[in-house]
Chains A and B, each alone.
Chain A
Amino acid sequence: MKGIAQTFRQHRFLFTELVKRDFKKKYKRTYLGMLWSLLSPLMTLFVMRVVFTQFFGRSMEHYTIYLFCGNIVWAYFSDATNGGMSSLMDNAGIFSKINVPKYLFLFSRNVSSLINFALTFAVFLIFCVIDGVAITPLFFALIIPILCLMIFNIGMGLILSAMFIFFRDVQYLWGVFLTLLMYLSAIFYDPAQFGGMEKLFLLNPVYVYIKYFRSVVIGVGGNIPMLPSIQYHLLAVGYAVAAFLIGFLIYRKMNHKFLYYV
């Protein structure tokens, strides 16, 4: 770990340049540029709001914020993992010619996703105010799920990018899996309606983070906004650490083999 910190310091300039590049490239040749970071989640939110309020929103207070919590967490997760998956492959031309630590490419994608997330998060806070949700010091607790999600995303990125180098199929499988997972993340419905089945949703790490958001922002299960239990924290942190460890081990094992497959 000490070695990693040192290489990181050594490559700080490269890292910032990579982040800049990833961020710029994302909006190259668009008229609205960075605005899309804000517009696209808002448009998704709007569509969901229109479609689902009829079905799920009548019995729920602050349904818009409920949707928004699910949406921003989900968008961050899918953006970071999709970007992370192709990060190594897209930069193969570089690391097969120049000796640079390959994980930098993944990290830079993750950071540019995080910047994106930060922008939408700002809009999220504005929506909270508009919708009459009280912004309390409790909101600072959101750092915990965000941090967990960040680590979780990096872990998933490490796993996916390695797999993607060996099997290009992963791209399509992941696309399908993401769609499935999205429906299982209770973004627009309330899993409490399934009674005891709700526990099963906790097997889905993304849902765990979404629920954390809701718990702090609008409260879940009829409760006032509050911190989740200790066990819940353990679960949230556990998922992040597990994903990161698995990703780290895979990366360490495969690191030197990537070159032969690109």
Chain B
Amino acid sequence: MEENNCRCEAPILSLDHVSVRYMTGDFKEIGIKEFLLRKLTRNYHVNEFWADRDVHFSIYRGDMLGIIGTNGAGKSTLLKAISGIMVPTTGKVTCNGKIAALLELGSGFDGEMTVRENTYLRGAMLGYTKKFMDDTYEDIIRFAELEDFQDRPFKHLSSGMKSRLAFSIASLVNPDILILDEVLSVGDGAFRKKSEAKMKSIIGGGATTILVSHSIAQVRSMCNKILWLDHGKQVVFGDNVKKICDVYEKFLADKVLPTDL
């Protein structure tokens, strides 16, 4: 569409020196008594821990951004900041579109409730309307291959089934920005093929996608931009996917951060 072309010039998502700080130390495990005691004796210590420090980049419509980094690099925290679950300690996230974040799919369901109830509840959380859920409920169940389990308690499902259901509900979204945190690896082989095809069709539909993956091959084959985080710091952001992936693989082998990127 013509009108959209001009909007393409502005980034659909931009992070302006975003930092997220976690507080750790005394405050979490102690109760009121300890808290007051330590406050009084000036023995109350809080440590800060920067999960993300000064992350700065922009992506445009149609981009497919891969975020790489070792465990604890701050990838998931960054996604939480982008999706609005967390508010960055400093910096700003500007987003010009509807975000759908598929984070840790299997969690947040209610084990006591039936599959049907959970499906509706999850759909509501993702911002679907009642009518939309009524119309697509059958499709969701069919896609997840859970026709025989609709009225069983959610806790009776196997973990593979749980993530299949979660994926099926979440993949109905028609977002401007799609955030995928390790979701391309749910289910067994057959379902994985199906889910990858589904993802590809969403991405092909023009959505901007952010993909967190430990599979470098996946990032190489799918992404056109790449962000590398290490201990919360932005090592590099760029569109030179092949080169960055090469350097990253080298880093994984010898654990030495490159200086010349």
Q: Which residues of A contact B (CB under 8 A)?
A: 10-11, 13-14, 16-18, 20-21, 24-25, 28, 93-100, 167-170, 173, 256, 259-261
Contact = CB atoms under 8 A, between A and B. Distances in A.
Given A14-B127, A17-B121, 4 more contacts: A25-B110, A95-B85, A167-B31, A259-B80
Where chain A touches its partner, the secondary structure class is helix
Contacts, number: 72
B163 to A, nearest CB: 13
Contacts of A261: 28
B129 A96 contact: no
Interface stretch (B11-19, B112-120, B144-152, B218-226): B112-120
Nearest to A262: B28
A169 B33 CA distance: 9
Contacts of A24: 113, 117
Q: How large is the interface on B (under 10, 10 to 19, 20 to 34, 35 or more residues)?
A: 20 to 34
B44 interface: no
Contacts of A95: 85
A97 B108 contact: yes
A21 B110 contact: yes
Contacts of A13: 124, 128-130, 133
A260 B23 contact: yes
Given A10-B127, A24-B113, A18 B121 contact: yes
B210 to A, nearest CB: 15
Contact of B121 (A11, A21, A168): A21
B126 interface: yes
Given A98-B85, A98-B126, A99-B85, A93 B121 contact: no
A24 B120 CA distance: 14
Given A167-B31, A256-B87, A97 B129 contact: no
Contact of A96 (B28, B33, B85, B110): B85
Nearest to B126: A98
Most A CB contacts (10 A, CB to CB) among B32, B80, B126 go to B32
B113 A14 contact: no
B259 interface: no
